[in-house]
Amino acid sequence: MSYDNHIIVGKILTTHGIKGWFTIGSYTSNPEDIFKYNLKVVIDNELKQLMVTEYNLMPKKIIMKLEDIDTIESCSKYMNLDLYTLADELPEVESNEYYWHDLIGCAVFDENNALLGVADSLFTSGDTDILVVKNDNSQKEILIPFLKSNIISVKNSKIIVRWYSEI
In total, how many domains does the chain have? Answer: 2
pLDDT single digits (tens) 40-81: 999 998 999 999 999 999 988 999 999 999 999 999 999 999
pTM for the complete prediction? 0.73
pLDDT at res. 166: 65
pLDDT at res. 1: 47
162: confidence class by pLDDT, cuts 50, 70, 90: very high
Domain that holds residue 148: 100-161
Question: Do 158 and 142 contact (CB within 8 A), yes or no?
Answer: no
Q: Spell out a b/e string for 89-122, using b for 16 or more CB atoms within 10 Å of the CB, else e.
A: ebeeeeeeebebebbeebebbbeeeeebbbbbeb
Neighbours of 62 (CB within 10 A): 20
Same domain, 12 and 63: yes
Same domain, 17 and 81: yes
Same domain, 21 and 71: yes
CATH number at residue 140: 2.30.30.240
What average pLDDT does this structure show over 95-107? 86
Rounded Cα distance between 28 and 5, Å, is 17
